[in-house]
Structure 1
Amino acid sequence: MEQIKYITENENDHRWGLIVCSAGRQRVAPHEEYPPQGHNAEYTFDWRKGRTLQEYQLLYISEGEGTLETRSAGRHTVKAGDMFLIFPSEWHTYHPNPETGWREHWIGFKGENIDNRVAAGFFSRKQPLYHIGTNDTIESLYREATDVAVAQRPFFQQLLAGIVNHLLGLMFMTEANRNLLPNSDMPNIIELARQYMQRSITSDITMPDVARHFNISYSTFRHIFKRYTGLAPADYFINLKIHRAKELLRSSNIPIKEIAYELHFESPEYFATLFKRRVGMSPSHFRSK
């Protein structure tokens, strides 16, 4: 058994949008009773019967393996490097394999911040398991959360909320990228393509040119780029140009017509129309603000 901390909160913490209820880490040896003694009565459970909680819990298994079962997702094998998210009012149970034990890290939390992300579809009861792999940053964040919870310095809840958001972001990003293009170099190529476009905003290049630069068919490049970034390559490139135009409008006296030509828009009129559509005001209005 290692550090475990159950935490109270106040009204000000609730206004922050996310509060942490518990944090801890523990090593469960092979054939050791699970869960070990020492938990708050609210959290103690018989893994054979399962339980429900009124909060989210995010767990990371850094060693060993075991089993997770939830009402919505059924039964899953959990291995070292996996994270899983428990949802409020969701029946669940989990436990280590008696032959291996495991090392678990967890943090419990609730609030409108996480509720909104679930409602937006970022996290689902039907997919609670995330295959992250060994990750020193994640382990370090869990250790920091436990240390902060134990010390409970003024406004510690706000710091803990930041750690939860960091953990959720890392988990979501890692799993999303793994699912996007498993066993592929494409994510690295897309990132290099983004950098190439950033260096080329004053060049007269097309998106098929970018695809050829990386020896990819344009149809494949466009499809993968949009899945990876959420934007078609042309839209991404235009956004880069608009961002550069805004910088020039703010920091220089270069005529608007010359900015349009420098960034290789079809015409000053097209640039002005596109700028207003994307920014909500004309280039001249933007410069005068």
Structure 2
Amino acid sequence: MIDLMSKPTAVNYTPHIALSAQWKVEADPAYKVVRAPQSEDFQIAVRTLSGQGQIRLRDQSDYLLEQNSLLLISRNQIARYFCSGNTWKFHWFEFQSSLPLAPYQNQLHTMEISAEEFRNINDCFAILGLNTAYSSLRASSIFAVLLTYWLDRIHSPQNADQSRLESLIGNTLQDLSVQHTVRELARLSQMSERSFRDKFSRYTGFSPKQYLEKRKLDSALDLLATTHLPIKEIAGMLGFADPYYFSRFIARQAGLSPEAFRRKANPVQPSGDPAARIDVT
């Protein structure tokens, strides 16, 4: 008899990418959209297939989007956008991502659209529109392929500091069970502590402490919601030697204790015959 079990002893962080909406637009000169700020911000990717459009930001700066262009930007930066030529054919993606996109945002990138990319764009649009139980997950998976494909192809100048930060995030910081000090991370990045804090914050949008706490929180909530692992074990997997400190951390960040969050994520279903519980009076 063979009885095998596999489970992680440490948590490797997987970036979160979730596509919330996709628009396929064929605009004419009458096309004009004004955007008001929203309480919840999203990341935007605009991929222009042909024609010409323009996006104006709240700081009054403009982007002219032409064939084969890609723009990554935060939604709440956008004041208005419109067709600035005879036509503007584009796909507009709204998504959330834990990837460090700051180095790629607010600049126009031009790259030819390959047949495979075009197929993925259309598949993503078709699947998201199915509105089935798993269509959003499937579309997000395809969009993750698109987004990482774009990032790989962007030809932006990359200095040594940015390369070292990417290596640090992609390798050293993947194992969340290991504790790191800013001094150690700065040394690994070959920077002073002050320079490391400043460049890390510009690259990720978070201080080193905030970045690690966010990753640990995301992983903790996922493990609490999707596994039956003991809370003490989850704490250890995320580098918390004291499970009570871990509980206080979750309560402070999520507003619920680990036990309460797990109950909320997995409500107990009533037992018995469902038909017998229907009130027909």
TM superposition score category, shorter chain reference: 0.3 to 0.5
Q: RCO (CA 8 Å, sep 6+): is it higher in 1 or 2? A: 2
